[in-house]
Amino acid sequence: MPLTSFADLSLAHIFEDLPFLVSSHGLFVDVHGYGNLANEGDLGCITLKVVTFTKKGELLKESRLLRKMQQLAPCVFPCTYCAEPGSAIVEADRCPLCLAVCAIPCWTKTTSIAKVTVSTTGRITIDSPHKDILTAFLAPLFLARTTHYEEHRENIIRISEEVDRKKAEMRKRRQHWQDSDPV
């Protein structure tokens, strides 16, 4: 049975591991937005913002969030990544390790957008300079969520209908209460 919406995929399960792309490939990836596509057979598209930090030719493969997820102590002040004397002022930016605003960043920040097109069968195509890395990381996650949906489709639909029914009841009760409340 083909997917009908992103809710069927539980996208949170797919994207909760995105911070680990920092330690493996130096890619800081955030979900930037969702969209619908007119193409038949496509569920929609997801836009990802991909940021890399390069210092002395090497990609940063650490972040404050990743340290927190690994239950490590936060980066100490002054941060060794953002504190480097003698750098030219480019533009103030926030250090990915200590989150301090640096007037003299000594790294090069590169930002790109990755467009992930999701088909109704759960297959993905990615338009990005980091296409190979993102495909290798995301394709198995989308496939796993699609398989989960197919195996538990009846329960997912039943629970979704129950939630919608309860929301409608709450709206109806709230409306009735507001209508009967004398002002």
Q: Whole-angstrom Cα distance, residue 49 to residue 27? A: 10
Q: Give me the mean pLDDT over the 24-29 stretch.
A: 92
Q: What is the mean pLDDT of residues 145-171?
A: 87
3-state secondary structure (DSSP) of residue 57: coil
In this prediction, residue 126 carries a pLDDT of: 93
Question: Is 12 a residue whose pLDDT tops 90?
Answer: no
Strands 124-127 and 58-59: unpaired
Query: What is the rounded CA–CA span in Å between residue 179 and residue 154?
Result: 37
pLDDT, tens digit (0-9, with 9 covering 90-100), for 111-152: 999 999 988 888 899 999 999 999 999 999 999 988 888 888
Buried b (16+ CB within 10 A) or exposed e, 139-172: eebbeebbeebeeeeeebeeeeeeeeeeeeeeee
The secondary element (H helix, E strand) that includes residue 115 is strand 108-119
Strand duo 108-119 + 93-94: pairing: unpaired
Q: Where are the domains positioned within the chain?
A: 6-153, 154-183
Sign for the CA dihedral angle at 94, 99, 104, 106 comes to negative
Residues 149-172, mean pLDDT to the nearest whole number: 87
Q: 89: pLDDT confidence band, cut at 50, 70 and 90?
A: very low
CB 52 within 8 A of CB 27: yes
Indicate whether 91 pLDDT > 60: no
Tally Cβ neighbours within 10 Å of residue 33: 11
pLDDT at 77: 66
**Max CA pair span of the chain:** 70
User: Could you read off the pLDDT of 66-79 as tens digits, one per residue?
Assistant: 877 878 777 766 67
d(CA 81, CA 47): 29
- SS3 at position 17: coil
